[in-house]
Amino acid sequence: MIDSKPKRLQVPALRRWVASSLTLLLTLFAVSVLSFLLVALLPGDVATTLLGDSATPERSAELRKELGLDQPLPRQYGTWLGKVMQGDLGQTFNSGEAISDMILARVPVTLELILLTQLLALAIAIPLGVWTAYKAGSVFDRLSLSVSLALLSMPTFVFALLLVYAVALKVPLLPSNGYAPLSDGLWANLRHMVLPVTTLALMEVPVYMRLLRSEMLTTLQQNFILLAKGMGLSLSRTLFQHALRPSSLSLITLVGLNMGRLMGGALIIETMFVLPGVGLLLVESIFQQEYLLTQAIVLFVAVAFILINTLTDWLYAWVDPRLKH
Amino acid sequence: MPHHSLAFKFSVAWLALMALLSLLADGLPLPSPDAQDLNNMLAGPSGSHWLGADSLGRDILARTVHGLRLTFLVSFASVGLALVIGTCLGISAGYIGGWYDRGLSLGLNVLLAFPPLVLIVALVAYPGNMLIKIIASLALVFVPSITRIARASTLRFARLDFVAAAKVAGLSHHRIITRELMPNVLPVLLAYAFLLLGIGALAEAGLSYLGLGMPPSVPTLGGMMAAEQARILDAPHAVFFPGLVLFLTIFAINIVGERFNAGSEGARR
C-alpha cells in the first residue's frame, strides 16, 4: 500500500476539465449543505430562536410551518435549495426585507473596495518584488523584507486606527468613515475609499511582494535572462518584459484567491470604516441575530469564493500552457 | 543568518517576557483589571498607572496583561488542537492512501472553500460557550494546511529505506507510524505550527475587536481598542498601548517562526 503511489499518467485536458467541474459541483453541494445546517441545527426550538423576543406560541407555530420545520431534514434541505436556486433567500424578521435584495445592494461597495485594493496592492508590490529580487541581499532588499514581516504582524484594525489617527483626525484631510455612492460624484466617492483601500492594500503588499520576489529569483537564474542581458537589452526591459511574465503566474493565483476571500473577508475594514458592504452586513446580521441573513451571506460569500477560485484555476491553466498537459 | 540574530534574540526575549507576565498575571503587583477608578478616567501614564487608565479608570497595563493571556490561550489551544487532528489525518492519509486519502482531501477542499474569517464568524455566531467556539473554529481553519504538510512529508518518508525495512521486518502499522514516521514528520509540522500561532493571535484580536469574541467584560486586546477608539484623540495611549503589545508579540512570533521554518524547509522538500 505504501508503494501505491502510481507513476502519474498523462491526463488529457478534457478529463482534467471534467474532473475539476465535478469537484466544483461537489464542493458547491457540500457548501450548500453546511450553510443549510447552520440554521437547521440551531439548538433548541429554531422558530423561537429565530423570533427571539417576539416569539408567541402562534407566531412560532406559523413560522415553523413556513420554514417547513415539521418536515424531515433532507426534505427541508430540498425545499430550501429549490428556493435558493430561484434567488429566494427568505426575508429578515425585523423588517421583512427580501434578503437577496439586501445582499445585492451591498455587493457594489464590496466589489469597489476589492478591485481598488488589488489595483493599489499590485501597483506597489510588482515594482518592489521585481526590484528586491534583482537586488537580492542588498540593504534595500533586507529592509523591505523586515518591513513586510512587520506589516504581516500588524492586526488590520491596529494599522487602520493608526492611519485614521494620523490622516483623518490629527490632520483632518480625509473622512474617517462612511461611504458616498458614485452618484455623489467620483471625488466624494474616492475620498471615502482612500483609507480603507490603503489599509487593505498595504496588508496584501507584503504577501504579493514576497511571492513575486521568490519567483523572480528563480526566473533570473534562467538561461534566457542571461541571454537577454548578454544581448545588451536594457535592464528595465529585461526585468519587466522578459522576467516578470513567467514569474507572475502564482501571483495571478494568489490575487484570485484574495479577491474571493475579500468577498466576505473585509469584515473588519468595512465595520471600522462603516462601509456598507457585504462584510458589514454579515456583522450586523450577527448582532441582530438575523440567522437567516447570516446563513444567506455565508452561502453567498462561499459560492462567490468558490466560483472566483475555479475561474482563477482555469485562467491559470490557460495562461500557463505547461499545465494543459 | 547573522544579521537576523539580534532581532531573533529580542524576539525570544520579548516572547519570554510576555509569556511570563501573562502566566503570572494574577500574582503581579498590579491593580485588578476590572477595578474602576473614576478619578483617573483616561489618565495618562503615571507612577500609579504605568500605561495610564481607560475611560472607566481601569489600569491599562493590568488589562493588557490579562488580555494577552487570553490571546496566548486561544492561539496555543487552537494550534495545538489542529496539530493533533491534522497530524493524525495527514499521516494516516499518506500511509493508507487510496480511497481514504481521496475522500479526505475532498473533505478538506470543502473546508478550504469557505473564506476563513467568514467560516470562523459563522461558527462563533452560533449559540454556545464562546471560548470553546473560538478555539474550535480556529482549529478547524488550521487543520487543512497541517494535514496537507503531514501527508506530503509522510509520503516522502514512507518511500525511504528505513520504513520499507521496518515493513519487511514485520513491524505493526501502529509501530511504524509512531516510531518511524512520527519522529520525522513532527519537526516539520512544529516549525509550521509556530507560524500559525501568529495567525491565531491575529484572528483572536480581530474577533474581539469586532465584538464577536469574548463578552465585553473580559479584557481582550482587540476589545480594549474597540472600546476606546472613540476617544482616540483624548487618550491615544488607551488605544495604542494594547495595539503595540499585540503587534510586538505577533511580530516576535513571526520572526522566531520564520527562522524555525527556514530551518525545516530543507527537510520538507
Are B199 and B244 a contacting pair, CB within 8 Å? no
Higher per-residue pLDDT: A12 or B24: B24
pLDDT reported for residue A2: 46
pLDDT of residue A53 exceeding 70: no
Residue in B267, B94, B111, B75 with CA at minimum distance from that of residue B189: B267
Cα Rg, chain B, nearest whole Å:
22
CA dist., res. B208 & res. B228, Å (int): 13
Q: Which residues of A touch B230 (CB under 8 A)?
A: none
Are A269 and A197 a contacting pair, CB within 8 Å? no
B113:A162 CB<8 A: no
What ipTM describes this predicted complex? 0.84
φ/ψ (deg, to 5) at A98: -70, 125
Give whole-number Cα distances, A80 to A32, A36, B142, in Å. Answer: 10, 8, 30
Q: What is the pLDDT of residues B16-72, one digit of tens each?
A: 999 999 888 787 777 777 777 777 777 777 766 677 777 777 888 889 999 999 999
pLDDT of residue A3 exceeding 80: no
Among the partner residues A4, A150, A158, nearest to B97 by beta-carbon distance: A4
Are A275 and A109 a contacting pair, CB within 8 Å? yes
CA dist., res. B20 & res. B33, Å (int): 17
B111 at interface of A, judged by CB pairs closer than 8 A: no
A31:B3 CB<8 A: no
DSSP state of B58: -
Are A33 and B110 a contacting pair, CB within 8 Å? no
pLDDT reported for residue B265: 60
Are A51 and A93 a contacting pair, CB within 8 Å? yes
Residue A169's closest chain B neighbor by CA?
B233
The C-alpha cell of A316 is what? 491559470
Q: Which residues of B touch A274 (CB under 8 A)?
A: none
The C-alpha cell of A275 is what? 462601509
B117:A265 CB<8 A: yes
Least confident of B133-147, B154-168, B215-229: B154-168
Burial of A237 (0-12, 13-18, 19+ CB in 10 A): exposed
B2 at interface of A, judged by CB pairs closer than 8 A: no
CA dist., res. B123 & res. B106, Å (int): 21
CA dist., res. A129 & res. A215, Å (int): 9
Contacts of residue B83, defined as CB under 8 A and 6 or more positions apart, other chains included, come to B142, B146, B189, B190, B193
CA dist., res. B203 & res. B142, Å (int): 12
Q: What is the pLDDT of residues B95-113, one digit of tens each?
A: 888 899 888 988 888 888 7
Mean pLDDT, chain B, as a whole number?
85
Cα Rg, chain A, nearest whole Å:
24
Q: Can you list the domains of chain B with their CATH numbers?
A: 57-267 (1.10.3720.10)
CA dist., res. B19 & res. B69, Å (int): 8
pLDDT reported for residue A320: 67
Q: How far is A127 from chain B (nearest CA, A)?
A: 24
pLDDT reported for residue A265: 57
φ/ψ (deg, to 5) at B59: -70, 120
pLDDT reported for residue B79: 97
pTM: 0.86
Burial of A146 (0-12, 13-18, 19+ CB in 10 A): middle
pLDDT of residue A325 exceeding 70: no
Among the partner residues B106, B114, B127, nearest to A43 by beta-carbon distance: B127
Are B185 and B154 a contacting pair, CB within 8 Å? yes
A27:B164 CB<8 A: no
pLDDT of residue B2 exceeding 50: no
The C-alpha cell of B240 is what? 495604542
Most A-contacting residue of B64, B210, B244 (CB-CB within 10 A), to test interface: B210
Q: Which residues of A touch B167 (CB under 8 A)?
A: 2
Q: Which residues of A touch B114 (CB under 8 A)?
A: 31, 34, 298, 302, 305
CA dist., res. A206 & res. A124, Å (int): 10
B97:A1 CB<8 A: yes
Q: Can you list the domains of chain A with their CATH numbers?
A: 14-86 (no CATH), 107-319 (1.10.3720.10)
A68 sits in which H/E element: none
Q: How does residue A60 score in pLDDT terms, banded at 50, 70 and 90?
A: confident
Higher per-residue pLDDT: A208 or A2: A208
CA dist., res. B49 & res. B59, Å (int): 6
A136 sits in which H/E element: none
Among the partner residues A31, A38, A169, nearest to B113 by beta-carbon distance: A31
Q: Which residues of A touch B210 (CB under 8 A)?
A: 267-268, 271, 283
pLDDT of residue B269 exceeding 70: no
Least confident of A228-237, A251-260, B42-51: B42-51
Are A165 and A156 a contacting pair, CB within 8 Å? no
Q: How far is B28 from chain A (nearest CA, A)?
A: 27
Are B188 and B268 a contacting pair, CB within 8 Å? yes
B171 sits in which H/E element: none
A301:B118 CB<8 A: yes
pLDDT of residue B253 exceeding 60: yes
| Portion 97-156 of A in contact with B at CB < 8 A | 142, 146, 149-150, 152-156
Q: How does residue A106 score in pLDDT terms, banded at 50, 70 and 90?
A: very high
Residue in A48, A32, A26, A94 with CA at minimum distance from that of residue A302: A32
Q: What is the pLDDT of residues A162-186, one digit of tens each?
A: 988 888 777 777 887 888 888 888 8
Are A257 and A309 a contacting pair, CB within 8 Å? yes
